[in-house]
Chains A and B, each alone.
Chain A
Amino acid sequence: MQAMPAGSLVVLAVMLPVAAATLAPLLGARGAQRAIVLGLLPASLAVAAAIAAAVLRTGAAIPVHVGGWAPPLGIAFGADGLSAAFLLTGAVVMGATAIFAGRTGLGAAAGTGRAPLAFWTLLPALWAGVNLAFVANDLFSVFIALELLTFGAIPLVCLDGSRETLAAALRYLMFALLGSVLWLLGVALLHGTYGVLDLVLLRGAVRPDAATILAAVLMTVGLLAKAAVFPLHLWLPAAHAGAPAAVSAVLSALVVKAAFFLLVRLWFGTLPALLTPALAGLLAALGAAAILVGGVMALRQARLKLLVAYSTVAQLGYLLLMWPLVLATGPEGAGAWLGGVLQAVSHALAKAAMFLAAGLIAAALGDDRVAALGPAGRAVPLSVLAFALAGLSLMGIPPSGGFTAKWLLLGAAIETGQWWWALVVVGGGLLTGGYLYRVLSSAIGGEGEATAAVPLAPQAVALGLAVLSVGLGMLPLYSFGLVQVGRPGMAP
Chain B
Amino acid sequence: MTAAQLLVVATPLAPLLLLAAGLPRATRRHLPALLWLAPLPGLAAALLAGGAPPLVLDPDRLRFTLALDAPAALLLGACALLWSAAGIHARAYLGTGPGAVRFAAWWLVTQSGSLGVFVAGDLIGFYLAFALVSLPAYGLIVHDGTPAARRAAAVTLLLAVLGEVALLLGFVLLADAVPGGSIAIADAVAALRGGKAPDLAIALLIAGFGLKAGLLPLHVWLPLAHPAAPMPASAVLSGAIVKAGIIGLLRVLPLDGSEAGWGAALAAIGFATAFWGVGCGITQRNPKTVLAYSTVSQMGLLAAALGLGMAAGEPGAALAIAFAALHHVLAKGALFLAVGVIAGLGGWRAMLLVLLPALVLALGFGGAPLTGGALAKAATKPLFGESLAATLAALSAAGSTLLMLHFTRRLAAGRGAGGVAPGLLLPWLLLAVAAMVLPWVLYPRLGLGDPLALPMPEALWPVLLGAALFAALRRWGARLPAVPEGDLLHPAERVLRATGGWGAGIARIEAALRVWPVAGMALLLLLLAVGATLTIGAR
Kindly list chain B residues whose C-beta atoms are within 8 Å of the C-beta of A422.
169, 172
One of B127, B142, B161, B527 near A445 (C-beta < 8 A): B142
Question: Is residue A292 within 8 Å, beta carbon to beta carbon, of the partner chain?
Answer: yes
Q: Are B530 and A276 in contact (CB under 8 A)?
A: no
In B41-75, which residues have CB < 8 Å from any A CB? 58, 61-62
Q: Are B506 and A297 in contact (CB under 8 A)?
A: yes
Question: Is residue B536 within 8 Å, beta carbon to beta carbon, of the partner chain?
Answer: yes
Q: Are A278 and B536 in contact (CB under 8 A)?
A: yes
One of B154, B176, B503, B534 near A216 (C-beta < 8 A): B534
Kindly list chain A residues whose C-beta atoms are within 8 Å of the C-beta of B162.
430
> Once the chains are docked, how many angstroms separate the CA of A279 from the CA of B506?
25
The smallest C-beta distance from B6 to any residue of chain A, in angstroms, reads 21
Question: Is residue A477 within 8 Å, beta carbon to beta carbon, of the partner chain?
Answer: yes
Number of B positions contacting A (CB below 8 A): 50
A279 touching B537 in the complex, CB below 8 Å, given contacts A232-B523, A293-B509, A411-B175: yes
**Binary per-residue interface labels of chain B (524-539) against chain A in the complex, 1 for a CB within 8 Å, 0 otherwise:** 0011011111111111
The smallest C-beta distance from B62 to any residue of chain A, in angstroms, reads 7
> Once the chains are docked, how many angstroms separate the CA of A459 from the CA of B131?
26
Question: Is residue B100 within 8 Å, beta carbon to beta carbon, of the partner chain?
Answer: no
A217 touching B534 in the complex, CB below 8 Å, given contacts A231-B522, A282-B529: yes
Which of A224, A281, A410, A429 has the largest number of chain B CB atoms within 10 A?
A410
Question: Is residue B362 within 8 Å, beta carbon to beta carbon, of the partner chain?
Answer: no
Kindly list chain B residues whose C-beta atoms are within 8 Å of the C-beta of A411.
172, 175-176
Q: Are A232 and B526 in contact (CB under 8 A)?
A: yes
Question: Is residue B157 within 8 Å, beta carbon to beta carbon, of the partner chain?
Answer: yes
Q: Are B530 and A217 in contact (CB under 8 A)?
A: yes
Question: Is residue A457 within 8 Å, beta carbon to beta carbon, of the partner chain?
Answer: no
**Binary per-residue interface labels of chain A (377-409) against chain B in the complex, 1 for a CB within 8 Å, 0 otherwise:** 000000000000000000011110000001100
A429 touching B165 in the complex, CB below 8 Å, given contacts A216-B534, A221-B527, A292-B506: yes
Kindly list chain B residues whose C-beta atoms are within 8 Å of the C-beta of A204.
none
Q: Are B175 and A282 in contact (CB under 8 A)?
A: no
- Indicate the size class of the contact surface on chain A: 35 or more
> Once the chains are docked, how many angstroms separate the CA of A319 from the CA of B191?
31
Kindly list chain B residues whose C-beta atoms are within 8 Å of the C-beta of A399.
124, 128
Question: Is residue B510 within 8 Å, beta carbon to beta carbon, of the partner chain?
Answer: yes
Q: Are B172 and A297 in contact (CB under 8 A)?
A: no
The smallest C-beta distance from B34 to any residue of chain A, in angstroms, reads 21
Kindly list chain A residues whose C-beta atoms are within 8 Å of the C-beta of B502.
296
The smallest C-beta distance from B124 to any residue of chain A, in angstroms, reads 6
Q: Are B176 and A213 in contact (CB under 8 A)?
A: no
Question: Is residue B194 within 8 Å, beta carbon to beta carbon, of the partner chain?
Answer: no
The smallest C-beta distance from B524 to any residue of chain A, in angstroms, reads 10
Q: Are B176 and A437 in contact (CB under 8 A)?
A: no
The smallest C-beta distance from A330 to any residue of chain B, in angstroms, reads 14
A220 touching B530 in the complex, CB below 8 Å, given contacts A297-B507, A445-B145, A476-B62: yes
> Once the chains are docked, how many angstroms separate the CA of A433 from the CA of B163?
13
The smallest C-beta distance from B150 to any residue of chain A, in angstroms, reads 8
Q: Are B157 and A217 in contact (CB under 8 A)?
A: no
Residue of B nearest to A417 (CB): B196
Q: Are A221 and B523 in contact (CB under 8 A)?
A: yes
Q: Are B534 and A415 in contact (CB under 8 A)?
A: no
Question: Is residue B519 within 8 Å, beta carbon to beta carbon, of the partner chain?
Answer: yes
One of A293, A398, A433 near B510 (C-beta < 8 A): A293
A278 touching B537 in the complex, CB below 8 Å, given contacts A225-B523, A293-B509, A414-B196: yes
Q: Are B526 and A293 in contact (CB under 8 A)?
A: no
Kindly list chain B residues whose C-beta atoms are within 8 Å of the C-beta of A276.
533-534, 536-539
Q: Are B506 and A397 in contact (CB under 8 A)?
A: no
Residue of A nearest to B126 (CB): A398
Q: Are B533 and A296 in contact (CB under 8 A)?
A: no
Question: Is residue B513 within 8 Å, beta carbon to beta carbon, of the partner chain?
Answer: yes
One of B58, B507, B523, B534 near A296 (C-beta < 8 A): B507
> Once the chains are docked, how many angstroms separate the CA of A278 from the CA of B529?
10
Q: Are B131 and A217 in contact (CB under 8 A)?
A: no
Question: Is residue A478 within 8 Å, beta carbon to beta carbon, of the partner chain?
Answer: yes
Q: Are A231 and B142 in contact (CB under 8 A)?
A: no
Kindly list chain A residues whose C-beta atoms are within 8 Å of the C-beta of B533.
276, 278-279, 281-282
One of B145, B150, B537 near A277 (C-beta < 8 A): B537
Question: Is residue B135 within 8 Å, beta carbon to beta carbon, of the partner chain?
Answer: yes
Kindly list chain A residues whose C-beta atoms are within 8 Å of the C-beta of B169.
410, 422, 426
Q: Are B124 and A407 in contact (CB under 8 A)?
A: yes
Q: Are B534 and A293 in contact (CB under 8 A)?
A: no
The smallest C-beta distance from A127 to any residue of chain B, in angstroms, reads 30
Which 7 residue pairs are nearest across A and B when measured between Cβ atoms?
A: A278-B537, A278-B533, A276-B537, A279-B533, A398-B128, A410-B172, A231-B522
Could you name 26 residue pairs across A and B whose Cβ atoms are closer than 8 Å? A178-B523, A213-B534, A217-B527, A218-B527, A220-B530, A221-B523, A232-B526, A234-B519, A278-B532, A278-B534, A279-B533, A282-B530, A296-B503, A297-B507, A300-B507, A398-B127, A398-B128, A398-B131, A399-B124, A414-B176, A426-B165, A430-B161, A430-B165, A445-B102, A445-B145, A477-B62
- Which residues of B does A touch, CB under 8 Å? 58, 61-62, 102, 124, 127-128, 131, 135, 142, 145, 150, 154, 157, 161-162, 164-165, 168-169, 172-173, 175-176, 196-197, 502-503, 506-507, 509-510, 513-514, 519, 522-523, 526-527, 529-539
Known: A276-B537, A293-B506. 15 other contacts (CB 8 A): A178-B523, A216-B534, A218-B527, A220-B530, A221-B527, A232-B526, A234-B519, A276-B533, A281-B533, A296-B502, A296-B503, A300-B503, A398-B128, A445-B145, A478-B62
